[in-house]
Amino acid sequence: MRYSGFAISLFFIQIALAQKPFDQARSFLDKADYTSCTRILDSCHAAKYHSDSVLFYLGLVKFKTDNIEAGQRYIALLNKEYPDFYEVHYLKGLLYFSKKNYAKSADEFTRVIEKDPRNVKAYFNRSVALGQLEEFLDAISDLGECIKLEPSNPQNYYSRAYWYEYTGNYPEAAKDYQFAIGLDPRNYDAYMGLAYVYKNLKDDSKACEVINKAISAGSQIADEVKINFCR
């Protein structure tokens, strides 16, 4: 079957237009503008456009706004209307985490990863659940996968450093905190984490240096606790 150039162009224009609502919704979701995100998703739902994904994102918004009961309703809808929609397990992972059932939460994120090995958010959330279970090495491994998939995301390095601290591996924690700061010089939590690492390594000079850098970067908390690091 052959298509004219105009027909092919029209076909790709239609695909591009179809993707726009979801791209906009995801953009608002990333910016934590849940009202705008919900407005777009509701319009998609009314038009019966990709209803399975719409229900998923609406459920995700509910969990992000701590409306657990509403999030559960979207899980039930997805299970009923789209039983083969595997991403429902992501929502289930969030649900179990909210109930502090970290083992089941990790299991649900694992089911997502088995279907989609490049789902960085599933790896990240599973690492948090594993950390709560004190399975720190597995949490660190998951964050290593996150870093492979998103090497420029400072949160991945910060979180891995956090769990390295729990294992007592301060040199690796320091490396990751430094990397997080390099990617985001206003990551105040990473400065604080690095200062505490140097404190644990008995390197008071470096700890004080980091605190001063945090203050220069604009951290009010660092300014308030400076006396604990710089004497």
Instruction: Give this prediction's pTM.
Output: 0.85
- Distance, CA of 214 to CA of 62 (rounded, Å): 34
Yes or no: say if 169 and 145 are a contact pair by the CB < 8 Å rule. no
112 or 54, greater pLDDT: 112
Q: What is the pLDDT of residue 26?
A: 79
9 or 81, greater pLDDT: 81
160 or 26, greater pLDDT: 160
Of 132, 112, 115, 138, nearest to 60 by C-alpha is 112
- What tokens were used for 165? 């601290």
Q: What is the pLDDT of residue 40?
A: 83
| Residue 18: pLDDT over 60 | no
